[in-house]
Structure 1
């Protein structure tokens, strides 16, 4: 681990395989940037015909380089990369980076080539960044081993944020955006396709660096999800927040991310649940990725966030924008409570009981701003204080920032865990720089302000979850609903039912009236095909309905294999839920709870978690589903057995221990009165 960290971030001898003597070529940039930005080690160009490349002695092959090599950047075209990796591995280089694309993202042939690269590297103990990687930058050590054009800048401000990005172009974009407002980086690493080293593994190497305060992740896909848990625990123990921006929030973004990196795309809701479980803060805006760390560095997650903020403004319109955007993000701008009101009275601020403390008429001198923010921080029902500053931020940066800095410093000195933050309405680069230097989160837009405040409220500690307990079951390759119900029974969710192989079969001692459903491994949705009949009163009616159902479904779905009929007693309840399990292609097993019945897909009122979950997390999921809140006794309505719903969620989540189940679902689960449990009305399972 130490050797790999040094090879990646502190190399003293760097081989540039495929370096160009033409300074206008892309493959010449790494050498130019290394020297331009102060690299004092050995640059070792590899060129088959040149004795010298851009003033440095060149070598015809990697094998001809005398002595050891710490790091190799392979700049060759795709067809030549495999041979170069083999040569670098034979030289005993501990780490290398591959610039070229055309591997897993290019289809089966590219994926096979990528697999051969990894096999050759692993056989020799070589670790690979990429392919499709723009290299490694360590600004504190003055190492700029990259071809990113942002390194054309004469000055690269060093800072204490480390960026690990699957997109090479975003390394330069974020570095330049940060530089414009005084936010500097310690490291920038492009992981590309992550054939070997993943974003989580690279980020973990940076956690213990004393020059790193926070780690930023720009992700197109979540690869090696099992490594993120270790990163999250290590970072939390070190007091260094991890902030992620991930593509794929829309189906189109997921499609582009997958085509760019050759990775499978999962659901964005599953990614949200994954990050929340691990205590990784997620930014939904690019600005937020830069701005959020200042809210988190030096702090720990709030034990009981209120999802509320105290907002002070020197501009009515700007304050209203902030309040509006906070509300859209699910954060309330809350009027001062008793404690804050008392502090405002003592400071001589007139109050109107509104959600916005407008101090324009009361005076915006630094001492007044500091007093107002200090009073808002005294509130017991908010998570932070937000200052909204108008034109003075642009024309009087020193004065506009001083009061915010005073409030920030006073809160820190008093041990107040709530941060002070600022949204600057005009374009105010100097004020943004001053706030960044003071370690205060400053936002350039109301949307990113709301995004970061939301992320602060949702930020939590990594959650340790015991692995799912194994259980025995026998799910066939093509299960029907009866097979799915037997699987649920093995998990601890039994349901009373009978299976009829023909309409003449006797359902046994089942209670009337009953529901009748067609059995088929090919029909996940039976209602639309006439494969469900409810309220059947007796055996004669059951036989008639079964005969008619078989003919009806056979006409509607002639290719479906019909395996019989399922009969179960009718049940009534106070509400319906959907409980599901699936193996997400990115983050792995997830469990879902939502509003159930035929409208489940329409409303999409759901809560997700990585599986498995315990009862505490399952109860949290129940509380998050809006459609189930009425069953908690809302406005005197009868209380449903939500504890039984939570138990069912925890039971179904145990499917994480079974590698042969790809999906399973109960929809609907009929929720009985408190203490009466739930009834499995319909079940479905898919073999992996």
Structure 2
């Protein structure tokens, strides 16, 4: 393991700066917990006012310690943190964790304090967890280097799950919930403000730990997303699944931008696309955060394109709840096929056509449930089989779980939902590594999250944020040409020059062509249905007058003229570089539907044509162009190709910050952009 991983999870010695003699105080807990947990490393309390702390020898300063500790936990108040960290840097301490708050979360003064910490670390080999970190825990070796009061209870069970959380209190919550579920942990880290080490870097440092085979993340924001992406891709390559719970699903979290792309995508939709494209299963139910990993281990990232679930049950009501929750999340519950029903009946299982296979009370007999699971798990129409078990899970737990334990070892994933409160059955299934759930909500949430993952892609080189400048629409079309994205023919005309003969037929549309006016319609800068040359001259004069009245200081010297293009439907295709997630591409219904139907599909850019086809399929309004019910069909394949080509902006040498085509006309044969906006880095 790396020097950082050793200092984080296996330090040979720790120092507690500001350790209290009172084990009940926050600053006294870490020493107490380390003593009670049997941590074998050396613990050195630092307190200039005491010769002993909690019965152990204490030292007046870090410099007075008999050795340089591997890990220092600074427990002292905010205003003393910088001095203590500076001493750690001078001594060459590998890793420091800071408990105190009062940094970037508290305005300009706090940000200044946090910047001081970064300056102290610059050029050194010392790394920092926090500030505002409640500590680091490794139950495998008794490293309870934490001030979290939850660890006053019996020691956390050790296991193979690593937890990293922006919220310190969630560490205790997960430990207590895990204890109740029989789930153990290989490590838990409260990452705090990420002034130095980010959540992604901390997790990345542990990837080669053979005692860790999965990760749980509690995310409050998308800070340092590039490092998180790098970690997730590496975890996927090692077959170590990652499950995340991220706050911020509400519309209040949406981030507006110059174009519709920013407004429609919103912060949470970008975060959702980011997590899925990193191969991370994002759950929205807290119980599912603890319950999803066993299922994520069974469902390969290579097979996530399908999500057909077969349900076998001993309780119709329980199965109905599960089916309902799966449907809400867009997961297909597939009924057994005629062939599968025939095989079930041949195996002695009474099976009738229906959405689920309801075994009724007969399913409480182990031989009936075993036979049903054998057939269901080998049926080609299912990608996963869910067994919902009724009262037998509580009244006869050993008999109820026996067929599940045997079936759960097969190639196809089996998930189990226990309808009653059945702790013994749940513990047995958990110990065996079989995905098991206590509620229909967490069960459906986990299944949907695991199937929503996409194969993790390597992160693109990180580009820092930059000031932007807009291109004129004519120049934006030149960029589309370089990407092979089709657009309507366009002629640029100067207002002070004679009107030339157009290379296309009337009717036409005339628009202001100025980098200073992005939203032409609002400026009265668009005129449609111009039918002849005389009308075009009049329109050009009106356009210029409208634009100067709207923006007197704008550079208004040119107009753009294009033929009117009628399509089967319209799409909006957008691209922007998100400050955290990086380049994203989005598709939505275009034209007037953009504001009326706020439906979209978002991915990290670039995307392949196959991925672009999936994006088109996710926007229901665009399916109106598929030619159903006798309607004329639009070329959705050409739309997918245009999306994929447009997304290649992410790989271009020029730094395009934001770009949008709205609308992109979907034609019976092909597509054509009839408006484009591009913002490039100013420098």
TM-score normalised by the chain length of structure 1? 0.91
Cα 1:207–1:660 change in 2 (3 A) is: closer
State the match for 1:205 in structure 2.
205
User: 1:563 and 1:353 mapped to 2: Cα distance?
Assistant: 71
C-alpha distance after superposition, 1:125-146 (max 9, x if no partner): 1011111111110001111101
User: 2:658 and 2:304 mapped to 1: Cα distance?
Assistant: 34
User: 2:397 and 2:252 mapped to 1: Cα distance?
Assistant: 41
State the match for 2:657 in structure 1.
662
Matching of residues 555-634 of structure 1 within 5 Å? 562=556, 564-634=558-628
| Alpha-carbon offset, residue 89 of structure 1 | 1.0
User: 1:586 and 1:533 mapped to 2: Cα distance?
Assistant: 39
Single out whichever of 651-660 and 160-169 deviates more from structure 2.
651-660
State the match for 1:488 in structure 2.
480
Matching of residues 312-331 of structure 1 within 5 Å? 312-331=312-331
Single out whichever of 390-399 and 15-24 deviates more from structure 2.
390-399
Q: Secondary structure at the match of 2:122?
A: helix
1:685 aligns with 2:673: no
User: 2:362 and 2:118 mapped to 1: Cα distance?
Assistant: 66
Contact persistence 1:338–1:379 (CA under 8 A) = no
Matching of residues 373-522 of structure 1 within 5 Å? 373-409=373-409, 411=410, 416=411, 418-463=412-457, 477-493=469-485, 495=487, 496-502=489-495, 505-506=498-499, 508-511=501-504, 512-521=506-515
| Alpha-carbon offset, residue 241 of structure 1 | 1.0
User: 2:498 and 2:341 mapped to 1: Cα distance?
Assistant: 75
User: 1:61 and 1:562 mapped to 2: Cα distance?
Assistant: 69
State the match for 2:160 in structure 1.
160
| Alpha-carbon offset, residue 320 of structure 1 | 0.8
Q: Secondary structure at the match of 1:619?
A: helix
Q: Secondary structure at the match of 1:594?
A: strand
User: 1:249 and 1:445 mapped to 2: Cα distance?
Assistant: 22
Contact persistence 1:160–1:213 (CA under 8 A) = yes
State the match for 1:231 in structure 2.
231
C-alpha distance after superposition, 1:341-384 (max 9, x if no partner): 23311232222211122212424122322222222212211121
Cα 1:385–1:222 change in 2 (3 A) is: same
Cα 1:545–1:54 change in 2 (3 A) is: same
| Alpha-carbon offset, residue 668 of structure 1 | 0.3
| Alpha-carbon offset, residue 440 of structure 1 | 1.1
C-alpha distance after superposition, 1:449-494 (max 9, x if no partner): 11111123223432358889xxxxxx98343433433333343336
RMSD between superposed Cα atoms in Å: 2.6
Matching of residues 43-442 of structure 1 within 5 Å? 43-252=43-252, 267-297=267-297, 300-303=300-303, 305-409=305-409, 411=410, 416=411, 418-442=412-436
Contact persistence 1:266–1:584 (CA under 8 A) = no
Q: Secondary structure at the match of 2:424?
A: helix
| Alpha-carbon offset, residue 655 of structure 1 | 2.4
Contact persistence 2:337–2:381 (CA under 8 A) = yes
List gaps (5 residues or longer) in structure 2. Answer: 256-264
Q: Secondary structure at the match of 2:303?
A: coil
State the match for 2:8 in structure 1.
8
User: 1:275 and 1:563 mapped to 2: Cα distance?
Assistant: 45
| Alpha-carbon offset, residue 542 of structure 1 | 1.5
C-alpha distance after superposition, 1:587-629 (max 9, x if no partner): 0111112221121133233222212223333333233333333
Single out whichever of 638-647 and 47-56 deviates more from structure 2.
638-647
| Alpha-carbon offset, residue 110 of structure 1 | 2.2
Cα 1:514–1:253 change in 2 (3 A) is: closer
Cα 1:286–1:616 change in 2 (3 A) is: same
User: 2:636 and 2:305 mapped to 1: Cα distance?
Assistant: 23
Single out whichever of 565-574 and 398-407 deviates more from structure 2.
398-407
| Alpha-carbon offset, residue 280 of structure 1 | 1.9
| Alpha-carbon offset, residue 170 of structure 1 | 0.7
Cα 1:177–1:523 change in 2 (3 A) is: farther
State the match for 2:21 in structure 1.
21
Q: Secondary structure at the match of 1:403?
A: helix
User: 1:563 and 1:144 mapped to 2: Cα distance?
Assistant: 70
List gaps (5 residues or longer) in structure 1. Answer: 256-264, 469-474
Cα 1:658–1:99 change in 2 (3 A) is: farther
State the match for 1:671 in structure 2.
666
| Alpha-carbon offset, residue 687 of structure 1 | 3.7
Cα 1:576–1:266 change in 2 (3 A) is: closer
C-alpha distance after superposition, 1:528-574 (max 9, x if no partner): 55432211011211222233344445556668664543221111222
Q: Secondary structure at the match of 1:571?
A: coil
Matching of residues 632-643 of structure 1 within 5 Å? 632-634=626-628, 637-643=631-637
| Alpha-carbon offset, residue 651 of structure 1 | 2.9
User: 1:343 and 1:592 mapped to 2: Cα distance?
Assistant: 45
Q: Secondary structure at the match of 2:11?
A: coil
C-alpha distance after superposition, 1:210-257 (max 9, x if no partner): 2212111111122333333432343233221111222222244679xx
User: 1:164 and 1:204 mapped to 2: Cα distance?
Assistant: 11
Number of residue-to-residue matches in the alignment: 666
Single out whichever of 14-23 and 616-625 deviates more from structure 2.
616-625
User: 2:298 and 2:21 mapped to 1: Cα distance?
Assistant: 47
| Alpha-carbon offset, residue 106 of structure 1 | 2.1
Cα 1:107–1:487 change in 2 (3 A) is: farther
Cα 1:505–1:369 change in 2 (3 A) is: farther
Contact persistence 1:266–1:587 (CA under 8 A) = no
User: 2:266 and 2:4 mapped to 1: Cα distance?
Assistant: 31
User: 1:92 and 1:69 mapped to 2: Cα distance?
Assistant: 9
Cα 1:614–1:302 change in 2 (3 A) is: closer
